[in-house]
A and B are shown apart, each in its own frame.
Chain A
Amino acid sequence: MTSATAITSDPLSAEAVLRAVEGPGAGAVTTFVGLVRDHNVGRKVLWLDYEAYAPLAEKALGIIIAEAEARWTGARMAIHHRTGRLEIGEASVVIAVATPHRADAFAACRYAIERIKQIVPIWKHEHFEGGEVWIEGATADANDEAAREAALKIACA
């Protein structure tokens, strides 16, 4: 049985994440795979380095899974996030969600990726042609209810 959460420097396996959510009650499974892209705001990206506060990041993934499983009845979710140097085309994050009905599987999956960007203590160091830059997004606070509501709104749009 694959673990529901992982922060790992090993290459991610979408199949392993899928196995973590399988079960007889599932009527639909969605997966999301985030990839390293070769361009960002006009820059030619060479590679990315992901740094994590690993123990809190893994805990944050667990918080997101608990939020989703509470919101969507019968949902089972797993999330693995990679750290270290990633080349173009490699997977940085894999999410799998199994639910009794398909609409919930899509919504819960979208919710998870938005929440990851909001609260999980992982930082992307972009190495591009001509330099490098730390990418900074949201101020991470798992107890910020407004952020959680915003993620829910996007998921259910």
Chain B
Amino acid sequence: MDIVVKKIILEVKKGNQEAFSELMDIYKDKVYHIVYRMLGNVHEAQDVSQEAFLRAFMNIDSYDTNRKFSTWLFRIATNLAIDRLRKKKPNFHLEDQVAGTEDLTYYSQFSSDEELPEDQVVQWEMQEWVQEEIMQLPPKYRSAIILKYLEDLSLKEIGEILNLPVATVKTRIHRGREALRKRLRHS
């Protein structure tokens, strides 16, 4: 494992909170990205990824420094995301009103200080569309697909994160890939 990361973790284990913020700066984007792709919603993504870091801090003593930290952390994050999906009420949409506001939709939650050029709009729509397609996958395929194609992790690592044998990971990726293919082939 990265020596710098290991050093920081040893500091955190000694009870140094400030070191934990360094650890967060290294991993926050990855954790947030995985969780966002799992949940498809910025608010829940922020909520769940914060929760993931809090749990990681609370349970840092149970982390074995001989193993890869990112695997351990991603496991906490994906478990929390899957829990959230189980409890989740029916999907809501970006066009929905934010609770307790007059005419604020979830679109306005995206920061956009300037007018987006057309190609950026197209790109953004493309991103939205990819996310929507990922959201259509059953969660167990979704997590495997995200870890493989968006995080570029090996099957072995994915297996460790999801606590599954490699053969099962492979099957889930194959099935997820087939499901996506059926939806995307006509685009």
Chains A and B belong together in one complex: no
List chain A positions with a Cβ less than 8 A from chain B.
none
Q: Interface of B with A (CB < 8 Å)?
A: none
